[in-house]
Amino acid sequence: MLTVRKIGNSTRVIFPKELLAKLNLKEGNRLDIIEQTANSLRLSTYHPDFSRAMELSRKGTKRYHNALAELAK
């Protein structure tokens, strides 16, 4: 379980040290946050190429929403 806490002017998520060790995460590592559904997220280690591809995908989906909706029918 993760805990959300206010620290100074920021709100942070606290990872238990066992989870950090299991995932080989250290202070300063970056994570990508990917929205799975309206109420769930997926965290993955940060990869610049993947992050850029996801950004372009989100922009394309937003821009061509109507066309994609028609294709999905």
Quick: pLDDT tens for 35-67: 888 889 888 887 778 767 878 888 888 899 999
Instruction: Provide the residue range defining the domain that includes 7.
Output: 3-72
How much is the pLDDT for 34? 82
Cα 10 to the center of its chain, rounded Å: 18
CATH code assigned at 50 = 2.10.260.10
Distance in angstroms between the alpha carbons of the first and the last residue of the chain: 39
Task: Please state the domain count of the chain.
Answer: 1
Q: How confident is the model at residue 10 (pLDDT cuts 50, 70, 90)?
A: very high
- The three-class DSSP label of residue 12 is strand
